[in-house]
Chain A
Amino acid sequence: MIMAEKIIQEANDRAARFFSRRHFLNDCVTGLGATALGSLLGGCNLFSGSSAAPVQSLNPLEPRAPHFPARAKSVIYLHMAGAPSQLEMFDYKPELEKLHNQLCPQSILEGKKFAFIRGVPRMLGPQAVFQQHGESRAWVSDYMPHFAERVDDVSFLKAVQTDQFNHGPAQLFMHTGSARLGRPSIGSWVTWGLGSENSNLPGFVVLTSGGKTPDAGKSVWGSGFLPSVYQGVQCRSKGEPVLYLSDPDGLNRDLRYQGIQAINEVNRLEYEAFQDPEILSRISQYELAYKMQISVPGVMDINNEPQYIHELYGTEPGKESFANNCLLARKLVEKGVRFVQLFDWGWDAHGTDEATAVNYGMRNKCREIDKPISALLLDLKQRGLLDETLVVWGGEFGRTPMQENRDGKDMPYMGRDHHVEAFTMWMAGAGVKRGGSWGETDEIGFSAVKGQVAVHDVHATILQQLGFDHEKMTYQFQGRPFRLTDVHGHVIQEILG
């Protein structure tokens, strides 16, 4: 208790600094005004007392209603950082095969800029064998044999376009709707809009496969100008699930509780004085962290899953892997987590070495995700969760139909450069059409010719399935309302059932 007294003393000292003459006069004026205004507003508010929500705490993660009834309760977003090659996975281009190794016609290159291609590159035919699958007859390559059996559960977007050809900005654009820093990520918008169903777990969880973190850094799950309580909480599938969450040696749970109570009491006083939403964030973060000490180890532990599930996903407990993260994503969604963001890494197939060759390194990456992703779809399906969980898969851009020729030189391995004009993403579950496909690229997979979809359209569609009109979901900041979709975005009705 001595500790608590100390904290309160410190808070009182801090508060005393704000009792200057200037503050006193300021308080007098606003105090009078507020009293008058309060009584006026109170008088008008006679009827609004009957709202459905019971008196809520100041908790910023309290669940809230969307604009209209939602199809999706949760989102699992699978991001392949580095940008996978659509031409080896989903966008089958037999014409490109015929042009393999020929010089790229000047007409295609004119006026275009590439991240690494210089001069005139050669065309690179698809390095995979394609076949049509399922009732939807969707083309999938032999790089993804298990996923090929799942095509009737998903809808492909074959002509997604972005305007950023470097990883960092493109990832930011894909996850925050802006290529520059400072905007909230999709998951932050969603938790800000809907709150969290489970009050013992974060509303927005981020899982990385280990290895490299996204080039854009943690801003891709940051909360931008939204209160920081809405930022993604990174959990790990290896070691302690959340860093710095467990109690230090010698501190028991009871003492921890008292400490948090005291800190929050002080913070509450601060909030009453300053009304800064960041203080509310801090209070709920402390409370959530305390609850998470119990709840997180449980939900993040995959040891208790039956052998059947481990075989399905190909999971190995204790390892940091994409497969483990897929299983965790299912468990989190089952527990009411709103937004689960998975980042996989190593997809940047330039062909500079074996690990980045489309036919070696990238093929191995495909093998690593093929089974877990298919298992995730099946597992969500058998538990009746796919019905209310939106699964989104994609990279930050696509890859060129040309062989990369970094600095105008031939590369030792087959690789492709960054490509912004057309790439493939897919969505599944929560009202997304089953076995759908929208958008087409030209014969060589360079340009989108039909059904072009912008990054903001993808965002608008995600928000739509969560029950939001993306044009009305705005946050007032720096004197103007901000949206995830800025001034753009059309819901992609073509893939909605």
Chain B
Amino acid sequence: MTILLQSGWGLFIGRFHPLLVHLPIGILIIAFVLEWLSRFRQLAVLGAAVLPTLLFGAISAVAACVAGYLLSLSGGYDEAALNLHMWMGIAVAVLSIVLCIFRKYGLFRKSWLPVSALMILALSVAGHYGGNLTHGEDYLTAAWPFGKKQAPAAAAYKNIDDAKVYEHLVQPILEKKCYTCHNEQKLKGGLRLDGIAHIRAGGENGPVLKDSIPEMSELYKRLILPESDDHRMPPKGKPQLTPLDLEILYWWIQQGAPDSATVRELKKSPRIQLAFEGMKPSGDGTHPYMPLSETAEPPTEAVNALVHTGLKVMPVAANSGFVMVSAVNAPAFGNAEAQLLQPLGKQIVWLNLAGSAMGDSGLQVIAGLPALTRLQLEYTGVTDQGLQYLSNAKQLKYLNLTGTKITDKGLGYLHKQAGLQEVFLYGTGVSAAGVEQLRKALPDANVDTGGYRMPVLATDTAVFRKNPS
């Protein structure tokens, strides 16, 4: 082993570890499956295949262990996770050899299946921690489909001036492009980049930031080396930083790598100014009719049930669970079908029922949709009674009642809905006094009764000519 290391072959062989580990994983699982299947009378013949399979598995497991050990000597891994991974790997190798011996000499027949199962368990644990070492601890959990979706990062600030330089601009770059190798478990070059204190602490070759001079700071210097250079970061073949990323890091280091300053508080160079101009948030996250948090995807059956009534159900955005629902093609959608909206309560944010058969009793259901912010009821049979039900929908921001039969009595039910921002009452039975009261009760809302007219002007009909005749 020492010869290997001294000759420089050690690391080369070590790098085969990620390749070799997959052999015992595959082969030993097959061995276990064969072992188990051979218990069935019709498949007993498979028993003969177990030993050779195990043998191959054991050999490859030993090879993987050796390569893994050589790789671990290159350093840069979290001790605890590495130890667990290593001992589990060795356990797999040992158990597979033990099983080979048992099989070969027909010892302890009863233990074959349980020991195989134990081996697979060790294999799974070793594999999992191996994955964590390579890809980072949250590689798997971050992709967990049933977890809460992360709100888009852009929502953190409306204006680039309000963005915190480290938290909102620098950290996301490091997270995307650097964390995989410089994290708690995998400290390549002894360097962690997942936290400002770790960055300041530097790596085994010393600090990575120097005196606010990006050109002398390893954290920047290495990023602009030619891709073929050994010291280039991220190494060849890994996702690279974009020119915009580089500008941001440069500016941040130049400004002394502050940890909590906002963009406004720092001096902006002309270059970073240009960079920021190119960085418009895609969707500023300040949509007036969108909840701030995300929601789960809508249940497919409930969506299909609505679609079958002729309703259009559309996600408001890609990667969003929220949906808008429109009855533009479903004039028959009415009270009886309103119940179908209920299962999508967490998802429906915008509901357009203009011109549909919806009436008062349906509004009982609709008022109970907790995420609904925008409700269009133009030209429906909704009356004052329906608005009484609707007074429970406190989260409602936009309410369109154009062309309905509602009167001042109905408006009275809206007085306590402080969240309302837009109310449209054109073509309804409301009176000026009723509207005035609503405006007083909801001073921030825009209450529009329409009926606009334009003055009649002489120029409306005048034809302009050189010689008016």
Contact = CB atoms under 8 A, between A and B. Distances in A.
B376 interface: yes
Interface stretch (A14-22, A159-167, A205-213, A357-365): A357-365
A451 B298 CA distance: 43
B264 to A, nearest CB: 17
Contacts of A334: 354
B454 A371 contact: yes
Contact of B424 (A54, A357, A384): A384
A298 to B, nearest CB: 12
Interface of B: 145, 152, 277-278, 280, 282-283, 285, 287, 289-290, 297-298, 300, 303-304, 307, 312-318, 320-323, 326, 328-329, 354, 376, 378, 398, 400, 402, 422, 424, 426, 448-454, 457, 459-460, 462-466
A47 B459 CA distance: 66
Contact of B318 (A65, A367, A383): A65
Contacts of B300: 50-52, 54
A69 B287 contact: yes
Nearest to A359: B464
B140 to A, nearest CB: 13
B61 to A, nearest CB: 26
A67 B282 contact: yes
Contact of A381 (B278, B354, B452, B465): B452
A10 B426 CA distance: 56
A197 interface: yes
Contacts of A336: 326, 328
A52 B326 contact: no
A357 B464 CA distance: 10
B464 A364 contact: yes
A382 B298 contact: no
Interface string A63-103: 11111111100000000000000000000000000000000
Contact of B297 (A50, A55, A146, A311): A50
Interface of A: 47, 50-55, 63-71, 142, 145-146, 149, 197-200, 308, 311-312, 314, 334-336, 354, 357, 359-360, 363-364, 367, 371, 374-375, 378-379, 381-384, 387, 413, 467, 469, 472, 490-491, 493
A59 B312 CA distance: 14
Given A52-B315, A371-B454, A382-B451, A360 B422 contact: no
A51 B448 contact: no
Contact of B454 (A149, A359, A360): A149
Nearest to B465: A360
Given A335-B328, A472-B282, A360 B466 contact: yes
A149 B316 CA distance: 34
Nearest to B321: A52
A65 B350 CA distance: 14
B457 A145 contact: yes
B237 to A, nearest CB: 23
Contacts of B145: 47, 50
A378 B402 CA distance: 14
What 3 A-B pairs have minimum CB-CB distances, sorted nearest first? A68-B283, A382-B450, A384-B424
B317 A52 contact: no
Contacts of A71: 287
Contacts of B287: 68-69, 71
Nearest to A367: B459
A199 B329 contact: yes
A118 B457 CA distance: 40
B304 A54 contact: yes
Nearest to B318: A65
With most chain A CB atoms within 10 A of its CB, the pick from B152, B285, B316, B459 is B459
A381 B450 CA distance: 8
Given A69-B283, A364-B464, A367-B459, A382 B314 contact: no
Nearest to A199: B329
Given A312-B453, A382-B424, A69 B298 contact: no
Given A52-B300, A146-B454, A70 B329 contact: no
Contacts of B422: 384, 387
A409 to B, nearest CB: 19
A382 B446 CA distance: 11
Contacts of B313: 54
A149 B297 CA distance: 45
Nearest to B460: A371
Contacts of A149: 454
A491 B464 contact: no
A32 B304 CA distance: 35
A469 B283 contact: yes
Nearest to A497: B288
Contacts of A387: 398, 422
B278 to A, nearest CB: 8
A336 B283 CA distance: 23
Contacts of A359: 464
B318 A67 contact: yes
A422 to B, nearest CB: 21
Given A54-B303, A383-B378, A490 B314 contact: no
Contact of A490 (B277, B282, B297, B323): B277
Contacts of A199: 312, 329
16 contacts: A51-B297, A52-B298, A55-B304, A67-B283, A68-B287, A69-B320, A70-B317, A142-B459, A197-B328, A367-B462, A375-B454, A378-B454, A382-B426, A384-B400, A413-B466, A490-B277
A354 B465 contact: yes
A335 B304 CA distance: 23
B317 A378 contact: no
A387 B320 CA distance: 22
Given A65-B320, A66-B318, A364-B464, 18 more contacts: A50-B297, A51-B300, A52-B298, A64-B314, A67-B283, A69-B317, A197-B312, A199-B312, A199-B329, A334-B354, A336-B328, A371-B460, A381-B448, A383-B400, A383-B402, A384-B422, A472-B282, A490-B280
Nearest to B423: A384
A65 B317 contact: yes
A353 B441 CA distance: 59
Contact of B466 (A52, A354, A371, A491): A354
With most chain B CB atoms within 10 A of its CB, the pick from A145, A197, A383 is A383
Contacts of A357: 466
Contact of A363 (B297, B329, B452, B464): B464
Nearest to A386: B448
A314 B449 CA distance: 21
B465 A65 contact: no
Contacts of A65: 314-318, 320
A371 B455 CA distance: 10
B452 A312 contact: yes
A308 B426 CA distance: 13
A109 to B, nearest CB: 30
B402 A384 contact: yes
Given A149-B454, A382-B448, A383-B426, A198 B328 contact: yes
B462 A69 contact: no
